[in-house]
Structure 1
Amino acid sequence: MTEKIRIYLADDHQVLIDGLIAVLTTNKSFEVVGFSLTGENLYDKVTAKNADILIMDINMPEKDGIEVLKEFNEKGYTCQVIVFSSYDDIKFIKEVLQLGAKGYLTKQSAGEHLVEAITTVYNGEEFYSKTVREKIFKSFAGREKENDGIDVEEVLQSITEREMEILELISLEYSGKEISDALFISTNTVETHRKNLMKKLNVKTTIGLIKFAYKYNLLKN
Protein backbone atom coordinates (compact mmCIF):
# COMPACT_ATOMS: atom_id res chain seq x y z
CA MET A 1 0.00 0.00 0.00
CA THR A 2 1.34 3.42 -0.97
CA GLU A 3 2.06 5.68 1.98
CA LYS A 4 -0.41 8.54 2.24
CA ILE A 5 0.56 12.21 2.13
CA ARG A 6 0.01 13.56 5.64
CA ILE A 7 -1.64 17.00 5.56
CA TYR A 8 -2.13 19.56 8.34
CA LEU A 9 -4.53 22.50 7.86
CA ALA A 10 -4.45 25.96 9.44
CA ASP A 11 -7.14 28.57 8.85
CA ASP A 12 -9.26 30.70 11.17
CA HIS A 13 -12.57 29.67 9.56
CA GLN A 14 -13.99 26.37 10.78
CA VAL A 15 -16.35 26.16 7.81
CA LEU A 16 -13.41 26.32 5.41
CA ILE A 17 -11.47 23.74 7.41
CA ASP A 18 -14.47 21.40 7.30
CA GLY A 19 -14.78 21.90 3.56
CA LEU A 20 -11.10 21.17 2.96
CA ILE A 21 -11.26 18.02 5.08
CA ALA A 22 -14.32 16.84 3.14
CA VAL A 23 -12.52 17.38 -0.18
CA LEU A 24 -9.14 15.98 0.80
CA THR A 25 -10.42 12.83 2.51
CA THR A 26 -12.09 11.72 -0.73
CA ASN A 27 -8.58 11.28 -2.16
CA LYS A 28 -7.09 7.95 -1.09
CA SER A 29 -3.58 9.39 -1.36
CA PHE A 30 -4.20 11.98 1.37
CA GLU A 31 -4.61 11.86 5.14
CA VAL A 32 -5.59 14.96 7.13
CA VAL A 33 -3.69 14.55 10.39
CA GLY A 34 -4.89 17.70 12.17
CA PHE A 35 -5.98 21.29 11.94
CA SER A 36 -5.65 24.60 13.80
CA LEU A 37 -7.79 27.73 13.84
CA THR A 38 -4.89 29.95 14.94
CA GLY A 39 -1.18 30.17 14.28
CA GLU A 40 -0.25 29.72 17.93
CA ASN A 41 2.19 26.83 18.50
CA LEU A 42 1.59 25.76 14.91
CA TYR A 43 5.18 24.70 14.35
CA ASP A 44 5.07 22.34 17.32
CA LYS A 45 1.65 20.93 16.36
CA VAL A 46 2.64 20.23 12.77
CA THR A 47 5.94 18.67 13.83
CA ALA A 48 4.23 16.47 16.44
CA LYS A 49 1.84 15.16 13.79
CA ASN A 50 4.75 14.41 11.43
CA ALA A 51 2.92 16.18 8.62
CA ASP A 52 4.32 16.18 5.10
CA ILE A 53 2.38 19.25 3.97
CA LEU A 54 1.06 22.26 5.87
CA ILE A 55 -1.69 24.18 4.08
CA MET A 56 -1.91 27.53 5.84
CA ASP A 57 -3.67 30.87 5.57
CA ILE A 58 -1.76 34.12 6.09
CA ASN A 59 -4.42 35.92 8.10
CA MET A 60 -4.79 34.01 11.40
CA PRO A 61 -5.25 35.17 15.01
CA GLU A 62 -2.53 35.06 17.70
CA LYS A 63 0.22 34.37 15.17
CA ASP A 64 -0.20 35.08 11.47
CA GLY A 65 1.16 33.01 8.60
CA ILE A 66 4.19 35.24 8.08
CA GLU A 67 5.23 34.78 11.72
CA VAL A 68 4.70 31.02 11.43
CA LEU A 69 6.90 30.88 8.32
CA LYS A 70 9.60 32.86 10.11
CA GLU A 71 9.53 30.26 12.89
CA PHE A 72 9.81 27.42 10.36
CA ASN A 73 12.65 29.28 8.69
CA GLU A 74 14.51 29.69 11.99
CA LYS A 75 13.91 26.22 13.44
CA GLY A 76 14.13 24.23 10.21
CA TYR A 77 11.38 22.98 7.95
CA THR A 78 9.88 19.65 9.04
CA CYS A 79 7.35 19.72 6.18
CA GLN A 80 6.57 21.63 3.01
CA VAL A 81 4.30 24.67 3.30
CA ILE A 82 1.60 25.76 0.88
CA VAL A 83 0.12 29.17 1.58
CA PHE A 84 -3.61 29.21 0.96
CA SER A 85 -4.89 32.76 1.08
CA SER A 86 -7.38 35.26 -0.26
CA TYR A 87 -4.48 37.74 -0.50
CA ASP A 88 -2.76 37.96 -3.87
CA ASP A 89 -0.74 41.09 -3.18
CA ILE A 90 2.78 40.71 -4.58
CA LYS A 91 4.22 41.92 -1.26
CA PHE A 92 2.78 38.91 0.58
CA ILE A 93 3.67 36.54 -2.24
CA LYS A 94 7.32 37.60 -2.28
CA GLU A 95 7.62 37.48 1.48
CA VAL A 96 6.25 33.96 1.89
CA LEU A 97 8.42 32.64 -0.95
CA GLN A 98 11.52 34.24 0.56
CA LEU A 99 10.64 32.54 3.85
CA GLY A 100 10.59 29.12 2.22
CA ALA A 101 6.98 28.35 1.28
CA LYS A 102 6.89 25.96 -1.69
CA GLY A 103 3.41 26.80 -2.91
CA TYR A 104 0.96 29.69 -3.02
CA LEU A 105 -2.70 29.23 -3.85
CA THR A 106 -5.42 31.83 -3.87
CA LYS A 107 -8.63 30.61 -2.28
CA GLN A 108 -10.48 31.55 -5.45
CA SER A 109 -8.48 28.96 -7.42
CA ALA A 110 -8.22 26.29 -4.73
CA GLY A 111 -10.96 24.01 -5.99
CA GLU A 112 -9.24 23.67 -9.34
CA HIS A 113 -5.65 23.30 -8.17
CA LEU A 114 -5.53 22.08 -4.56
CA VAL A 115 -4.86 18.40 -5.28
CA GLU A 116 -2.29 19.24 -7.96
CA ALA A 117 -0.56 21.70 -5.61
CA ILE A 118 -0.27 19.12 -2.83
CA THR A 119 1.15 16.36 -5.04
CA THR A 120 3.50 18.75 -6.85
CA VAL A 121 4.95 20.20 -3.64
CA TYR A 122 5.16 16.76 -2.01
CA ASN A 123 7.25 15.59 -4.99
CA GLY A 124 9.79 18.35 -4.38
CA GLU A 125 8.60 20.96 -6.87
CA GLU A 126 6.94 24.33 -6.40
CA PHE A 127 3.37 25.23 -7.25
CA TYR A 128 1.73 28.62 -7.76
CA SER A 129 -1.75 29.29 -9.05
CA LYS A 130 -1.96 31.14 -12.36
CA THR A 131 -2.77 34.57 -10.90
CA VAL A 132 0.15 34.27 -8.47
CA ARG A 133 2.55 33.36 -11.31
CA GLU A 134 1.35 36.32 -13.34
CA LYS A 135 1.94 38.71 -10.45
CA ILE A 136 5.43 37.32 -9.88
CA PHE A 137 6.32 37.74 -13.56
CA LYS A 138 4.90 41.26 -13.70
CA SER A 139 6.90 42.23 -10.61
CA PHE A 140 10.18 41.75 -12.46
CA ALA A 141 9.09 42.44 -16.04
CA GLY A 142 10.70 45.59 -17.40
CA ARG A 143 13.27 45.92 -14.64
CA GLU A 144 16.82 46.80 -15.48
CA LYS A 145 19.07 43.82 -15.69
CA GLU A 146 20.63 43.13 -12.33
CA ASN A 147 23.99 41.57 -11.60
CA ASP A 148 23.20 37.90 -10.92
CA GLY A 149 26.68 37.28 -9.55
CA ILE A 150 27.65 35.20 -12.59
CA ASP A 151 29.27 35.58 -15.97
CA VAL A 152 26.10 35.58 -18.05
CA GLU A 153 27.75 34.89 -21.40
CA GLU A 154 29.69 31.96 -19.99
CA VAL A 155 26.57 30.55 -18.33
CA LEU A 156 24.47 30.85 -21.48
CA GLN A 157 27.10 28.94 -23.42
CA SER A 158 27.07 26.20 -20.77
CA ILE A 159 23.31 25.55 -20.99
CA THR A 160 22.74 22.38 -23.01
CA GLU A 161 20.04 21.89 -25.61
CA ARG A 162 18.20 19.50 -23.29
CA GLU A 163 18.36 21.97 -20.41
CA MET A 164 16.93 24.66 -22.68
CA GLU A 165 14.05 22.34 -23.64
CA ILE A 166 13.30 21.75 -19.98
CA LEU A 167 13.49 25.47 -19.19
CA GLU A 168 10.98 26.14 -21.97
CA LEU A 169 8.56 23.56 -20.55
CA ILE A 170 8.99 24.85 -17.00
CA SER A 171 8.06 28.32 -18.27
CA LEU A 172 4.87 26.81 -19.73
CA GLU A 173 3.98 25.51 -16.22
CA TYR A 174 4.62 21.84 -17.03
CA SER A 175 5.07 19.64 -13.97
CA GLY A 176 8.05 17.33 -13.64
CA LYS A 177 5.90 14.38 -14.72
CA GLU A 178 4.57 16.26 -17.76
CA ILE A 179 8.11 17.22 -18.79
CA SER A 180 9.28 13.62 -18.48
CA ASP A 181 6.37 12.45 -20.64
CA ALA A 182 6.97 15.15 -23.26
CA LEU A 183 10.70 14.47 -23.56
CA PHE A 184 10.58 10.70 -22.95
CA ILE A 185 12.95 10.85 -19.99
CA SER A 186 12.51 9.89 -16.34
CA THR A 187 11.29 12.31 -13.69
CA ASN A 188 14.63 11.83 -11.90
CA THR A 189 16.44 13.00 -15.03
CA VAL A 190 14.14 16.03 -15.24
CA GLU A 191 14.91 16.88 -11.61
CA THR A 192 18.66 16.49 -12.22
CA HIS A 193 18.51 18.89 -15.18
CA ARG A 194 16.41 21.35 -13.16
CA LYS A 195 18.92 21.33 -10.30
CA ASN A 196 21.81 21.76 -12.74
CA LEU A 197 20.05 24.75 -14.29
CA MET A 198 19.46 26.31 -10.87
CA LYS A 199 23.13 25.86 -10.00
CA LYS A 200 24.34 27.31 -13.31
CA LEU A 201 21.99 30.30 -13.13
CA ASN A 202 22.62 30.90 -9.43
CA VAL A 203 18.94 30.76 -8.44
CA LYS A 204 17.16 28.88 -5.66
CA THR A 205 13.64 28.31 -6.98
CA THR A 206 11.77 27.41 -10.16
CA ILE A 207 10.43 30.97 -10.25
CA GLY A 208 14.05 32.12 -10.19
CA LEU A 209 14.75 29.98 -13.27
CA ILE A 210 11.85 31.56 -15.16
CA LYS A 211 12.82 35.04 -14.02
CA PHE A 212 16.35 34.55 -15.37
CA ALA A 213 15.00 33.16 -18.64
CA TYR A 214 12.72 36.16 -19.16
CA LYS A 215 15.39 38.63 -18.13
CA TYR A 216 17.86 37.35 -20.73
CA ASN A 217 15.27 36.55 -23.42
CA LEU A 218 15.98 32.82 -23.42
CA LEU A 219 12.41 31.75 -24.14
CA LYS A 220 11.03 31.43 -27.65
CA ASN A 221 7.59 32.86 -26.86
Structure 2
Amino acid sequence: MTEKIRLFLADDHQILIDGLVAVLKTNKLFEVVGYSLSGENLVDEVADKNIDVLIMDINMPGKDGIEVLKEFNSKGFSCNVIVFSSFDDIKLIKEVLQLGAKGYLTKQSAGENIIEAITTVYNGEEYYSKSVREKIFLSFTGKEKENDATNGQISPESITDRELEILKLISLEYSGKEISEALFISTNTVETHRKNLIKKLNVKTTVGLVKFALKHNLINQ
Protein backbone atom coordinates (compact mmCIF):
# COMPACT_ATOMS: atom_id res chain seq x y z
CA MET A 1 0.00 0.00 0.00
CA THR A 2 1.29 3.44 -0.94
CA GLU A 3 2.21 5.61 2.04
CA LYS A 4 -0.35 8.34 2.58
CA ILE A 5 0.41 12.06 2.31
CA ARG A 6 0.21 13.46 5.83
CA LEU A 7 -1.70 16.75 5.97
CA PHE A 8 -2.15 19.44 8.60
CA LEU A 9 -4.71 22.26 8.30
CA ALA A 10 -4.56 25.72 9.85
CA ASP A 11 -7.43 28.20 9.63
CA ASP A 12 -9.35 30.18 12.22
CA HIS A 13 -12.78 29.06 10.96
CA GLN A 14 -13.91 25.69 12.33
CA ILE A 15 -16.58 25.31 9.65
CA LEU A 16 -13.96 25.66 6.91
CA ILE A 17 -11.68 23.14 8.63
CA ASP A 18 -14.56 20.68 8.89
CA GLY A 19 -15.36 21.14 5.20
CA LEU A 20 -11.76 20.54 4.16
CA VAL A 21 -11.45 17.47 6.35
CA ALA A 22 -14.63 16.03 4.83
CA VAL A 23 -13.31 16.57 1.29
CA LEU A 24 -9.79 15.30 1.95
CA LYS A 25 -10.89 12.17 3.80
CA THR A 26 -12.61 10.95 0.63
CA ASN A 27 -9.19 10.61 -1.05
CA LYS A 28 -7.26 7.47 -0.08
CA LEU A 29 -3.94 9.20 -0.78
CA PHE A 30 -4.38 11.63 2.12
CA GLU A 31 -4.33 11.44 5.89
CA VAL A 32 -5.38 14.53 7.85
CA VAL A 33 -3.37 14.16 11.05
CA GLY A 34 -4.38 17.39 12.73
CA TYR A 35 -5.54 20.97 12.52
CA SER A 36 -5.17 24.27 14.32
CA LEU A 37 -7.43 27.31 14.63
CA SER A 38 -4.49 29.66 15.21
CA GLY A 39 -0.87 30.17 14.21
CA GLU A 40 0.37 29.94 17.78
CA ASN A 41 2.70 26.92 18.20
CA LEU A 42 1.85 25.85 14.64
CA VAL A 43 5.47 25.24 13.62
CA ASP A 44 6.08 22.95 16.60
CA GLU A 45 2.84 21.04 15.94
CA VAL A 46 3.78 20.45 12.32
CA ALA A 47 7.29 19.34 13.25
CA ASP A 48 6.05 16.94 15.95
CA LYS A 49 3.61 15.23 13.61
CA ASN A 50 6.06 14.87 10.70
CA ILE A 51 3.75 16.61 8.23
CA ASP A 52 4.16 16.34 4.45
CA VAL A 53 1.94 19.27 3.48
CA LEU A 54 0.62 22.17 5.58
CA ILE A 55 -2.45 23.97 4.23
CA MET A 56 -2.50 27.32 6.00
CA ASP A 57 -4.53 30.51 5.99
CA ILE A 58 -2.72 33.85 6.21
CA ASN A 59 -5.03 35.61 8.65
CA MET A 60 -5.00 33.70 11.94
CA PRO A 61 -4.94 34.67 15.63
CA GLY A 62 -1.81 34.15 17.67
CA LYS A 63 0.51 34.30 14.67
CA ASP A 64 -0.47 35.03 11.11
CA GLY A 65 0.77 32.99 8.16
CA ILE A 66 3.61 35.39 7.42
CA GLU A 67 4.95 35.02 10.95
CA VAL A 68 4.63 31.24 10.74
CA LEU A 69 6.63 31.11 7.50
CA LYS A 70 9.30 33.32 9.04
CA GLU A 71 9.47 31.00 12.05
CA PHE A 72 9.90 28.00 9.73
CA ASN A 73 12.87 29.78 8.17
CA SER A 74 14.41 30.92 11.45
CA LYS A 75 14.26 27.37 12.85
CA GLY A 76 15.58 25.88 9.63
CA PHE A 77 12.53 23.65 9.39
CA SER A 78 11.38 22.63 5.93
CA CYS A 79 7.73 21.95 5.16
CA ASN A 80 5.61 22.00 2.00
CA VAL A 81 3.28 24.91 2.69
CA ILE A 82 0.23 25.77 0.63
CA VAL A 83 -1.17 29.17 1.51
CA PHE A 84 -4.95 29.04 1.52
CA SER A 85 -6.32 32.57 1.45
CA SER A 86 -9.28 34.75 0.48
CA PHE A 87 -6.84 37.32 -0.88
CA ASP A 88 -4.88 37.31 -4.13
CA ASP A 89 -3.06 40.61 -3.71
CA ILE A 90 0.24 40.40 -5.62
CA LYS A 91 2.30 41.92 -2.78
CA LEU A 92 1.04 39.27 -0.40
CA ILE A 93 1.58 36.51 -2.96
CA LYS A 94 5.18 37.59 -3.57
CA GLU A 95 5.90 37.85 0.15
CA VAL A 96 4.74 34.33 1.02
CA LEU A 97 6.52 32.82 -1.98
CA GLN A 98 9.73 34.59 -1.03
CA LEU A 99 9.33 33.11 2.46
CA GLY A 100 9.18 29.61 1.03
CA ALA A 101 5.53 28.72 0.43
CA LYS A 102 5.23 26.11 -2.32
CA GLY A 103 1.69 26.93 -3.35
CA TYR A 104 -0.96 29.62 -3.18
CA LEU A 105 -4.61 28.67 -3.41
CA THR A 106 -7.56 31.04 -3.16
CA LYS A 107 -10.46 29.85 -1.05
CA GLN A 108 -12.82 30.66 -3.92
CA SER A 109 -11.14 28.04 -6.11
CA ALA A 110 -10.29 25.49 -3.42
CA GLY A 111 -13.09 23.05 -4.11
CA GLU A 112 -11.90 22.25 -7.61
CA ASN A 113 -8.16 22.60 -7.04
CA ILE A 114 -7.29 21.40 -3.56
CA ILE A 115 -6.49 17.78 -4.52
CA GLU A 116 -4.31 18.83 -7.46
CA ALA A 117 -2.57 21.46 -5.33
CA ILE A 118 -1.62 18.99 -2.62
CA THR A 119 -0.31 16.29 -4.94
CA THR A 120 1.61 18.83 -7.05
CA VAL A 121 3.36 20.39 -4.06
CA TYR A 122 4.04 17.01 -2.46
CA ASN A 123 5.80 15.93 -5.66
CA GLY A 124 8.21 18.85 -5.45
CA GLU A 125 6.53 21.32 -7.79
CA GLU A 126 4.76 24.62 -7.14
CA TYR A 127 1.04 25.21 -7.50
CA TYR A 128 -0.98 28.41 -7.92
CA SER A 129 -4.69 28.80 -8.55
CA LYS A 130 -5.73 30.52 -11.77
CA SER A 131 -6.20 34.05 -10.42
CA VAL A 132 -2.83 33.84 -8.61
CA ARG A 133 -1.07 32.67 -11.78
CA GLU A 134 -2.56 35.62 -13.64
CA LYS A 135 -1.39 38.06 -10.96
CA ILE A 136 2.14 36.63 -11.06
CA PHE A 137 2.20 36.76 -14.87
CA LEU A 138 1.05 40.39 -14.96
CA SER A 139 3.61 41.24 -12.31
CA PHE A 140 6.50 39.81 -14.32
CA THR A 141 5.33 41.29 -17.64
CA GLY A 142 4.90 44.74 -16.14
CA LYS A 143 1.24 44.88 -17.11
CA GLU A 144 0.11 44.92 -13.52
CA LYS A 145 0.89 48.62 -13.22
CA GLU A 146 -0.98 49.32 -16.43
CA ASN A 147 -4.07 47.74 -14.92
CA ASP A 148 -3.84 49.77 -11.73
CA ALA A 149 -5.28 53.23 -11.30
CA THR A 150 -2.97 56.21 -11.26
CA ASN A 151 -1.71 58.02 -8.14
CA GLY A 152 -0.66 54.77 -6.45
CA GLN A 153 -4.18 53.38 -6.18
CA ILE A 154 -5.51 50.31 -7.88
CA SER A 155 -8.58 50.32 -10.09
CA PRO A 156 -12.04 49.69 -8.61
CA GLU A 157 -12.34 46.66 -10.92
CA SER A 158 -9.66 44.83 -8.93
CA ILE A 159 -11.74 44.94 -5.73
CA THR A 160 -13.47 41.63 -5.04
CA ASP A 161 -17.25 41.42 -4.61
CA ARG A 162 -16.89 40.80 -0.88
CA GLU A 163 -14.48 43.72 -0.48
CA LEU A 164 -16.93 45.94 -2.36
CA GLU A 165 -19.75 44.92 -0.02
CA ILE A 166 -17.65 45.77 3.01
CA LEU A 167 -16.39 49.03 1.48
CA LYS A 168 -19.98 50.14 0.85
CA LEU A 169 -21.03 49.39 4.43
CA ILE A 170 -17.96 51.14 5.84
CA SER A 171 -18.85 54.18 3.72
CA LEU A 172 -22.39 54.07 5.14
CA GLU A 173 -20.87 54.24 8.65
CA TYR A 174 -21.72 50.67 9.66
CA SER A 175 -19.70 49.41 12.63
CA GLY A 176 -17.63 46.25 12.39
CA LYS A 177 -20.29 44.38 14.38
CA GLU A 178 -23.09 45.66 12.13
CA ILE A 179 -21.16 44.63 9.01
CA SER A 180 -20.52 41.16 10.41
CA GLU A 181 -24.23 40.73 11.15
CA ALA A 182 -25.29 42.05 7.74
CA LEU A 183 -22.92 39.75 5.84
CA PHE A 184 -23.04 36.76 8.23
CA ILE A 185 -19.28 36.80 8.83
CA SER A 186 -17.20 37.25 11.98
CA THR A 187 -15.99 40.65 13.18
CA ASN A 188 -12.43 39.35 12.80
CA THR A 189 -13.10 38.68 9.13
CA VAL A 190 -14.53 42.18 8.71
CA GLU A 191 -11.42 43.68 10.29
CA THR A 192 -9.18 41.55 8.08
CA HIS A 193 -10.98 42.78 4.97
CA ARG A 194 -10.77 46.38 6.19
CA LYS A 195 -7.01 46.14 6.75
CA ASN A 196 -6.55 44.42 3.41
CA LEU A 197 -8.51 47.17 1.64
CA ILE A 198 -6.39 49.85 3.29
CA LYS A 199 -3.26 48.11 2.05
CA LYS A 200 -4.71 47.27 -1.35
CA LEU A 201 -5.99 50.78 -2.09
CA ASN A 202 -2.85 52.43 -0.75
CA VAL A 203 -4.67 54.59 1.80
CA LYS A 204 -3.85 55.13 5.46
CA THR A 205 -7.17 55.09 7.31
CA THR A 206 -10.83 54.12 7.10
CA VAL A 207 -11.51 57.71 6.04
CA GLY A 208 -9.24 57.06 3.06
CA LEU A 209 -11.39 54.07 2.15
CA VAL A 210 -14.51 56.23 2.21
CA LYS A 211 -12.86 58.87 0.02
CA PHE A 212 -11.86 56.18 -2.47
CA ALA A 213 -15.43 54.82 -2.55
CA LEU A 214 -16.87 58.29 -3.13
CA LYS A 215 -14.30 59.21 -5.77
CA HIS A 216 -15.07 56.09 -7.79
CA ASN A 217 -18.83 56.17 -7.16
CA LEU A 218 -18.76 52.72 -5.57
CA ILE A 219 -21.38 53.30 -2.88
CA ASN A 220 -24.29 53.35 -5.34
CA GLN A 221 -23.14 50.36 -7.42
TM-score range, shorter chain: 0.5 to 0.7
Distance apart, 1:142 and its partner CA: 3.1
For structure 1, the 5+ residue unaligned runs are 144-221
User: Which residue of structure 2 aligns with residue 98 of structure 1?
Assistant: 98
Distance apart, 1:123 and its partner CA: 0.3
Aligned-pair identity in percent equals: 80
The answer as to 2:37 corresponding to 1:29 is no
Distance apart, 1:73 and its partner CA: 1.4
What are the residue-to-residue correspondences of 1:62-211 with 2, within 5 Å?
62-142=62-142
| Structure 2 counterpart SS, 1:88 | coil
How many residue pairs were aligned? Answer: 143
Q: Which deviations, in whole Å up to 9, do the C-alpha atoms of 1:50-97 show, x marking residues without a partner? A: 110000000000100000000111112332000000011011100000
**Deviation >3 Å, runs of 4+:** none
Cα distance between partner residues in 1 of 2:10 and 2:142: 37
Distance apart, 1:140 and its partner CA: 2.0
Q: Which deviations, in whole Å up to 9, do the C-alpha atoms of 1:8-35 show, x marking residues without a partner? A: 0000000000000000000000000000
Cα distance between partner residues in 2 of 1:130 and 1:96: 17
Contact 1:47-1:78 within 8 A present in 2 as well: no
| Structure 2 counterpart SS, 1:135 | helix
User: Which residue of structure 2 aligns with residue 15 of structure 1?
Assistant: 15
The answer as to 2:43 corresponding to 1:56 is no
Read off the aligned partner of 2:2 and give its amino acid letter.
T
Q: Which deviations, in whole Å up to 9, do the C-alpha atoms of 1:127-171 show, x marking residues without a partner? A: 00010010011112138xxxxxxxxxxxxxxxxxxxxxxxxxxxx
Q: What TM-score, normalized to structure 2?
A: 0.64
Distance 1:142 1:90, change over 3 A: closer
Read off the aligned partner of 2:122 and give its amino acid letter.
Y
Cα distance between partner residues in 2 of 1:102 and 1:142: 23
- Cα RMSD over matched residues? 0.9
Cα distance between partner residues in 2 of 1:24 and 1:61: 24
Contact 1:33-1:49 within 8 A present in 2 as well: yes
Q: Which deviations, in whole Å up to 9, do the C-alpha atoms of 1:107-130 show, x marking residues without a partner? A: 000011100000000000000001
